[in-house]
């Protein structure tokens, strides 16, 4: 029985483990690999709650552990990635910051692209959102504000789009400093906005009670097939719009 109770927590720790690896890759500038491990971590984040419900072993410990893991995978990593993306617009990276340390000199000169620190606002806003979520009794069956995993996917899609979809106009937009700053601020707002959003967790598989979820998943698949990684920001936007259109149903669930 004791082992049964720990299964969801073990899955949550796998989420945290993926987040730690993603952090290492993000700091080193390997943003595509960071994105891969964030996606794996988000997968574990989905299945820990699923396992807890199936095994009927939900606990306060699991709730707190889940938020701590999300803080790394879906909070810290996207903040570092946005820092890196902003640093690219100024022609530098975190590696440049680290390589500027010279411990053989009496005085150490460190170059930090200060404007890029704005990207870390994503991490701060994620921490605030997760703390609110843990004490907000309104968010048991739906969300208020963009969930941190969804926001992480939005941010992590940027380096994937740059890597695999090389159209010049896309690169020009994504590597525009003001676009990245604007996206950072919008991201921080959406994380903590009083916007009801439906949850993708299925309590049953019935069509009537899950019609909106099935429609959203179908549209998501179509967008991914057509636009590939560029579809991810579109999917996040679709998620917010559908939630607002069907706001009354979402709040009432």
Q: Report pLDDT digits (tens) over 163-191.
A: 998 889 999 999 999 999 999 999 999 99
**pLDDT on residue 161:** 96
Which structural domains are found in the chain, ordered by start?
Answer: 2-96+114-251 (1.20.120.1760)
Among 115, 116, 8, which Cα is nearest to 63's? 8
- Give burial (CB, 10 Å; 0-12/13-18/19+) of 230: middle
Q: Report pLDDT digits (tens) over 132-148.
A: 988 887 876 778 999 99
- Give burial (CB, 10 Å; 0-12/13-18/19+) of 168: exposed
Q: Report pLDDT digits (tens) over 97-120.
A: 555 545 555 545 556 778 999 999
What is this structure's pTM?
0.87
């Amino acid at each position: 029985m004791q082992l049964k109770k720990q299964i969801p927590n073990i899955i949550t720790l796998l989420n945290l483990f993926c987040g730690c690896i993603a952090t290492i890759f993000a700091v080193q500038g390997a943003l595509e690999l960071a994105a891969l491990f964030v996606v794996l971590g988000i997968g574990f984040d989905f299945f820990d709650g699923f396992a807890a419900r199936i095994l009927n072993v939900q606990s306060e410990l699991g709730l707190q552990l889940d938020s701590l893991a999300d803080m790394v995978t879906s909070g810290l990593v996207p903040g570092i990635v946005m820092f890196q993306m902003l640093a690219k617009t100024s022609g530098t990276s975190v590696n440049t910051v680290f390589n500027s340390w010279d411990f053989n000199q009496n005085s150490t000169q460190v170059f930090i692209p200060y404007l890029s620190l704005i990207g870390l606002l994503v991490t701060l806003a994620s921490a605030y959102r997760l703390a609110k979520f843990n004490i907000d009794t309104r968010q048991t069956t739906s969300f208020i504000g963009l969930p941190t995993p969804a926001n992480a996917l939005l941010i992590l899609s940027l380096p994937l789009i740059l890597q695999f979809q090389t159209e010049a106009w896309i690169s020009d937009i994504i590597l525009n400093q003001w676009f990245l700053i604007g996206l950072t601020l919008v991201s921080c707002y959406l994380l903590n906005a009083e916007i009801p959003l439906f949850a993708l967790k299925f309590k049953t598989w019935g069509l009537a009670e899950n019609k909106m979820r099935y429609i959203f998943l179908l549209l998501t698949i179509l967008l991914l097939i057509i636009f590939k990684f560029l579809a991810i920001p579109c999917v996040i936007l679709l998620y917010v719009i559908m939630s607002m259109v069907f706001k009354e149903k979402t709040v009432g669930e």
